[in-house]
Structure 1
Amino acid sequence: MARGKGIARSCSLCLGWSVLTARACSGCEKFARAHPVRGTCPRCRHDAHLGSDGLCKPCLQAIRAEDDAEWALGIPGAGPRALQLTVGTHRHYATQANPIVLSRSGGRGVSAGWKRKLNRQRAVERDQSALLEPQVWGQLPLFALPRTLTRDTARAIATRQLSGWEKAEPVLLTLTAERHMSKAWRCQAAEMVRLALAVREADGAELSCERLLRELPKSGDVVCITLLRAGLLVSETVSDLRLAARSCGDCNAWMPESPHAGFRCAPCRDWRMSRHRQPGRCARCGRDGLALGAGHCRARHPYRDDDRSRHAATQLVIDLPADPGGPGLSPQAGEPLSVPVDVTPATTIGPGQETLFTMRRDWSPVLARLRGRLLADLPLTEAATALVDDFAEQRRDQEGTGFNKNIRTLTILSYWLGVENAFHERDVHDLARLETHLAAKPVCQFLRARGLLVDDPGLHQDRDLAWIERVLATLPQPVAEEVDAWVRALRGQGPRENEPRNWEGIRRYLSTLRPVLTAWTATGMTTLREVTADHIQDTLDGLEGTVRRQRATALRSLFGALKRERLVFLDLVRHLPVGDLTGIPRPVPSDVLAGLLDQATTPFARLAIALAAIHAVPAAEIRTALTADLNLARGTLELHRGLRRHTLYLEELTYSLAANWLTYRHQRWPTSTNPHLLVTQKTAPDPDYPAVHRITMQKVLPKGQTLDRLRQDRILNEAFITGDPLTLMRLFGITEATAMRYVTAAHPERTAKLPQ
């Protein structure tokens, strides 16, 4: 080759083939003049002239051609690639290495992608210094704030060395092989596992399953199982995790456990595969990315929404496995469900586990299964046995009445439901309602005292109020609304401010008017505005004495309240005469009165007879008298009568009977907290503190005698002796009208109206 035209050789700097007049090509010579600084290139490790980025000309050419973008971004593990063979021409400036300049418009797509990756990496590097910083292990945080973890958080810590990853990675590989998952699934799970390990280092403490499931953006159950097997998770917080037990990604149905379960249930997979359905936005639920058929997703079929202007809420669905040879899911109407003998009761439910569906139980099959079996034969757990023994010890003093009922009820509940969770009060009452040898109230009180009962508000309604509501439900709608307005007025909710009456008094009024209202509505009356004076007179004809007085009083109360409420035009019974008590108190025969204390065999009966026959205390006040109001040191008993108090000064007989009763009560029920003076075997241990029933007070006397008759005989006897109404008022605490009534009965000659 001629001397002036150069020789074809490789450049000593860029190794590119070119026609050279010297040892370096023209591009390298120009680059050397522009960048006189020499050094070792960090990419190719050659001694050459370095540009502004610290790289030589061949390395800048490789980066400009996007041959080594991963290395340019500084990703660990991505080393420099071998340089490609280049061919240059003499004085051809296309091969010159210049700084990378990306055009703002146009340009190659590869350069635009590289720029996006570079900007993302720089943003991560700026924020990575303060992202999930490792803390001192075991140090308790002063403030525990919830974190918001995303996929970007996981990408930001992709290059960080995390403690525990060397243990979790082989476990994740084993889990992927066991579940037959894909490589893409393993990469996503590994991303979440590394994120959980970063959170573990940032907290400086062991993680819990509940927190991972709550904070991780996805795959929380996979992370929990992986860290649990690797020994990096608090094991006692995880009881039973199954990777395949998850909700479907399309219809949100809970799928059964299966080693081959994916992220969609079998019906949704078939739905996607059939007819090659294309994903889109459902017109009913508004979710995007679902396989559609006629514009709706598969979950539209079981539901119907009349209001198509809004998105309907998705209902919880359970994907039950098919059982071709098994029975149907729902039995025929009227046939009770049979309980197989080998069915294990619910005593294995985990503590604190809440029920998915709350349905009312049918205890008939359970009682049929347990019929004929002894209580000792039921296999109770240790905790259930301790609970039943504690209840039996508490009710030991009531073995005579209801002891076996209470023990049997609690034993059946403990056997079938377990004692790890609270009992529902409705279940106890439903069980006790089926048989007479089962009881509910004592069992509910015992469980409520120990915090093992879920109260049902419907069972704690006042029984008088419940009776009133049942009566109103039987009346026609307009009449029921008018009577309900009268009831509200009696409760103090009317336009006039008055003292509210109790439900017991309102029930007495309504029970008096119930036959009248029923007769009026039976004739076709639709409202009480149609009542006339003839209707009022017809209801009172043929009635005398107390019965007429009670009905007339109730009618005046009803129509007076309706007139104030402006529900009737005229108060027809405003001037209706009610009448006064005309009966004369009659004394008790002396032979009957003499043997009452001798016939009484219990301290309870003797004290009740003494209070009524000696001190003329009404039966209602004897039932409600309090133990704290009896003062044996001073020999007094205070009786509460509204805002007033009446003090009884006990004579020797009543004093001794009261002292004997207190001694007997302390010996019989030493742990009773009932504040009432008189208690029985049922009311003494009752935590609701009820008073003695009226029927119990009637049983202390022979048939035909009442405590109120003894009281009247005592007041009448005192009126015969003194004849002074003021003495009767001070001695028995009665009103002046009552005192004059007894004085008139005892001394009719002292009044202006003498009997003819």
Structure 2
Amino acid sequence: MGVEWWTKLRQQRAAPAGPPVLEAQVKCQIPLFTVPRLLGDSTVSAIVGRPVAGWEQARPVIEAMEAEHGLTAGWRRKVAEMVRLALAVREAEGAGRLPEAMLRDLPANGDAVRLVLLRAGFLDEAPEPIRFSGRNQPVRTPYSTDLAPLPPRAPRQCTDCYTWIPTGRRAGFVCDPCRHWRERTGRGRCCRCGRDGLALRDDRCRSCHPYRLLDEARPATRRFTQLVISLPTGKGGPFEAFSVGDAEVPDYDERRPALHTSRGQMPLFTIRRDWAPVLARLRSAPAGEPPLTATARRLVEEFTRDRPAPRPDYKKNTRTLTILLYWLGADTTVFERDVYDLARIDVNLAAKPVCQFLRIRGLLVEDPDLHRDADQVWIEAALATLPEPVASEVRTWVKVVREQGPREGEPRGYDGIRRYLSNLQPVLAAWTTTAGVTSLREITKNQVEGAVDRVSGYARRGLATALRSLFRALNRERVIFRNPARDLPVGDIKGIPKSIPSDLLMGLLDQATTPLGRLVVALAAVHALPGKEIQNLHTTGLDLSRGTLKIRRGLLRHTLYLEELTHQLAADWTIYRHQRWPASSNPHLLVSQKSAVDPDHPAVSIGTLSGALPRGLALSGLRQDRILNEAADSADPLRLMRLFGITEQTAMRYVTAAHPERTAKLPR
């Protein structure tokens, strides 16, 4: 290869043995990740005398190109060195053919090496040709007729001041201020940062010169400089006029967001989005819908087609989905937290229907915190305000009450525990702050009775019941040694049930204008069902052929035998429901316009049931009037228990209210 090659070979043999360079690896092994290689003259010298696989096939190609284009022997030697280096990289990567992108690591002649390896069959071509020369050469060269265009301007750092240059020149790595600084000053070693070969003024480089006064006041700041971004200050050339368009035409280019995330792309880190700037951007934009991709537009059309007749609520849902798909795209999954954060800052947006639509299509990442019981979240927040170990003792009580309900195998709900804890919270706060109690073991019977005596009526009854439940559970779990609320009197309810005036009951069914309202009136005023049980009625419990309706009461079942009126009203409601919502899969017997099409199958709200009644009436009032009327006719508590499924205490309470003369205590 000439005298130069033999010179490098002698230098390699004379140099002491160093670490191995570009060792051959196992072929066809897929790397976990690739790192750019630092290849230079030392690397070329290290492999001069080493046999490289594929070199015998590549040498004739180089000689043929030299003869074909009439190139010089110097070109042949330089290209031969780079080809051997590329083949050595191929061995170090363990690849059968070298990826074209790795030719960027070569010091020079990347375009020529690309053509040699391509003709020899050792190159894995990129989808688009890569240009490795940074010069403005002609499109065609003597040895390459398909030269790729110059790469776009890439950001880089200034070699003198480390300023970040977003769009600098292709040639040169020095920013414009440093270039002028070099022309006016001499070179040397900076006394502050210690770098050598820089242009200095007052023994400081351009980066350290502004800190000279600060260094005199605070020497600890030495060797530190602020990172700077060099932004263009102006633009040469003639003035460019800007077009003035119609203000009513939406400028969609200005409203288009950044590039959307691709499906399956994993985020480097997650951060909670702030949707306020997005809404502000859309409000300030001209009128019109934001631009959507074809996939996003199809999703919005499908969502609108599945909705019932247009209403303002459904426009909220459509607008929410449109904003999400406009900003995030339709090719990625949406976090449920983002949907609720977006709907929370604007009353004209809704979250739940959009989340249900995206969940069915597999485009939603659910947030477990949003599906937790609201009463459970309140209980945990209330316990967090209590000091330890009182908080841990109350948690033990919550666990015991949660696992043991009023009936065997039935856990108590968080709503009941929340009512108990709301009564206990002021007392526990007073004990821990005012009395200085550090544990519930310190509570005495006098403290419990004093806390109960401060309130009266229903508040006293609720507090006494909660205190007895708390200390009974802690005593059972051996958290406390004795129960200070063991003999605490709870008291009886002093009020008596009251009947509804006859003028309000007259024409009650005629005042209910909907099939739902008439059936609710019959269930409350005829069969005395409470509102909670009416909510949870299921379609499987209604048997029109036998005239029965089964009611779920925990693990027990209570059967109602429907008379002719209630049977007809139940039949009318089932026909109306099938005609109004034929595709509804909600298992509850009574549904509303929202719950009928809700995929989560919620029960109808108490507000909807109360709104179906005539004005001035309540579900609890109708129920009390019916039981009181039956107690006045029969005066038999066992009949009330069998007919309405109530307890013996409740039955005796109604009998006492209907016949006070039969239960009055005679004087001795």
Identity %: 51
* Offset from partner CA, 1:393-416 (integer Å, 9 cap, x none): 22233x335112111111111222
In the other structure, the counterpart of 2:594 is 682
User: What TM-score do you get using the length of structure 2 for normalisation?
Assistant: 0.67
Alpha-carbon deviations, 1:239-268, whole Å to 9, x = none?
xxx9999999xxxxx998989799xxxxxx
- 1:560 to 2:507 alignment: no
What's the counterpart of residue 323 of structure 1? 230
- The partner residue of 1:620 within 532, 542, 557 is 532
User: Could you say which structure has the greater relative contact order, defined with CA pairs below 8 angstroms and 6 or more residues apart?
Assistant: 2
Determine if the alignment matches structure 1 residue 735 to structure 2 residue 656: no
CA contact (8 A) 1:588 1:709 kept: yes
Closer, same or farther: CA 376–342 of 1 in aligned 2, 3 Å: closer
From 312, 317, 335, the counterpart of 1:406: 317
* Distance verdict in 2 for CA 1:674–1:352, change over 3 Å: same
Distance in 2 (CA, whole Å) between partners of 1:414 and 1:364 is 16
**Kept in 1: contact 2:548–2:561 (CA 8 A):** yes
- Kept after mapping to 2: 8 A contact 1:425/1:454: yes
Partners of 1:690 and 1:674 lie apart in 2 by 8
Q: How many residues align?
A: 546
Task: Check 1:724–1:272 CA distance in 2 against 1; reply closer, same or farther (3 A cut).
Answer: same
8 Å contact from structure 2 (residues 519, 569) kept in 1: yes
Q: Does residue 435 of structure 1 match 2:346?
A: yes
- Taking the aligned partners of 1:392 and 1:162, their CA distance within structure 2 comes to 65
The 5 A counterparts of 1:173-572 are 188-193=85-90, 199=96, 232=124, 235=127, 274=195, 322-323=229-230, 342=254, 344-371=256-283, 376-397=288-309, 399-492=310-403, 500-527=411-438, 528-541=440-453, 543-572=455-484
In structure 2, runs of 5+ residues without a counterpart are 1-5, 38-46, 66-77, 131-150, 158-163, 173-189, 198-222, 234-251
Deviation at 1:474, TM superposition (A): 2.7
Alignment of 1:687-702 (within 5 A): 687-702=599-614
Note the 1:565-644 alignment, pairs <5 A: 565-644=477-556
1:721, distance to aligned residue in structure 2 (A): 2.5
Specify the SS of the correspondent of 2:523: helix
Counterpart of 1:614 in structure 2: which amino acid?
V
> Contact 2:156–2:168 (CA<8 Å) still a contact in 1?
no
CA contact (8 A) 2:528 2:626 kept: yes
Aligned partner letter, 1:274: R
How far apart are residue 699 of structure 1 and its match? 2.1
Query: What letter corresponds to residue 426 of structure 1 in structure 2?
Result: R
SS at match of 1:371: helix
- Helix, strand or coil for the counterpart of 1:646? strand
Q: Is the 8 A contact 1:347 1:419 kept in 2?
A: no
Question: Which of 46, 53, 58 matches 1:158?
Answer: 53
Per-residue CA distance 1:470-527 (angstroms, 9 max, x = gap) = 2223333443333223223323399xx9864221111010011122223334425242
1:647 aligns with one of 550, 554, 559: 559
Structure 1 residues 617 and 200: CA distance shift in structure 2, 3 A: farther
Query: Would the alpha carbon gap of residues 612 and 750 (structure 1) be closer, same or farther in structure 2, given more than 3 Å must change?
Result: same
**C-alpha distance in 2 between matches for 1:751 and 1:702:** 35
What is the rounded CA distance, in whole Å, between the counterparts of 2:649 and 2:612 in structure 1? 30
Pairing of 1:7-18 with structure 2 (within 5 A): none
On the 8 A contact 1:162/1:198 being kept in 2, the answer is no
* One-letter identity of the residue aligned with 2:428: L
Residue 574 of structure 1: SS of its match in structure 2? Answer: coil
Change (3 A) 1:185 1:157: closer
Aligned residues of 1:715 and 1:728 also touching (Cα < 8 A):
yes
- SS of 1:391 mapped into structure 2: helix
The answer to whether the 8 Å contact 2:535/2:604 transfers is yes
Q: Secondary structure at the match of 1:342?
A: helix
CA distance in 2, matches of 1:475, 1:261: 67
Deviations 1:529-582 (A, max 9, x none): 443333322322254443322110101112223334444453211111123344
Query: One-letter code of the match for 1:414?
Result: L
Measure how far apart 1:644 and its partner are.
1.6
Aligned residues of 1:256 and 1:320 also touching (Cα < 8 A):
no
Question: Distance between the aligned counterparts of 2:232 and 2:156, measured in 1?
Answer: 26
1:395-447 residue CA offsets vs partner (Å, 9 max, x unmatched): 233x3351121111111112222212111222211211111111112111211
Taking a change above 3 Å as real, the CA distance of residues 349 and 582 of structure 1, as seen in their structure-2 partners, is closer
What is the letter of the counterpart of residue 452 of structure 1? L
Tell whether the 8 Å contact from 2:52 to 2:87 is kept in structure 1 after alignment. Answer: no
State the TM-score, normalizing by the size of structure 1: 0.60
Point out the structure with max Rg over C-alpha.
1
In structure 1, what residue type is equivalent to 2:229?
Answer: A
Q: Which amino acid in the other structure matches residue 358 of structure 1?
A: T
Deviation at 1:651, TM superposition (A): 1.7
| 1:604 Cα deviation after fit | 1.3
Secondary structure, aligned partner of 2:484: coil
Distance 1:186 1:364, change over 3 A: farther
Instruction: Give a deviation string over 1:267-290, Cα, whole Å, max 9, x none.
Output: xxx9999359xxxxxxxxxxxxxx
Kept in 1: contact 2:153–2:168 (CA 8 A): yes
Q: 1:24-103 counterparts in 2 under 5 A?
A: none
